Amino acid sequence: MATIAAVIENGATLKVTWPNMQNGDVGEAVSYGAYADRSIQVRGADGVGGNLRIEGSNDGVEFPTLTVDGTTALNLTVGSTGVIKNVCEDTATIRPHVTAGNGSTLYTVTLHGRQ
């Protein structure tokens, strides 16, 4: 398991990318409080059984799974075309976490935030 550094581009919109995430990797948690509208894009390869979870925290200790609509957990697979989902909760920080997969699981995750 590795912690993947976030690549942050901050301006009128926020773009955060966590590249080349493999099974067990956790993305560096980032703050995005000034950006009310948020979406996550995931692309890459699921491999066998790949799963990417989007997590958030207000205390920096516990990182529960965020949701699309308040009930549907952000546990994602990309299939052949990638996926984009809204993020419902407004937490202090957010991070991706690859919770399952094999040696060919490889994701690039991009967060977009708009004020």
Determine if residue 78 is left, alpha or beta; phi over 0 gives left, psi from -120 to 50 gives alpha, anything else beta: alpha
**33 pLDDT higher than 80:** no
Specify the higher pLDDT residue, 79 or 18.
Answer: 18
Is pLDDT of 23 > 90? yes
64 DSSP 8-state letter: P
Q: Of 70, 64, 69, which is closest to residue 29 (Cα–Cα)?
A: 64
d(Cα 22, Cα 104) in Å, to the nearest integer? 8
What's the whole-number average pLDDT of the chain? 92
Other CB atoms within a 10 A radius of the CB of residue 86 amount to 13
Over the stretch 48-103, which tens digit does the pLDDT of each residue have?
999 999 999 999 999 999 998 888 999 998 886 788 999 989 899 999 999 999 99
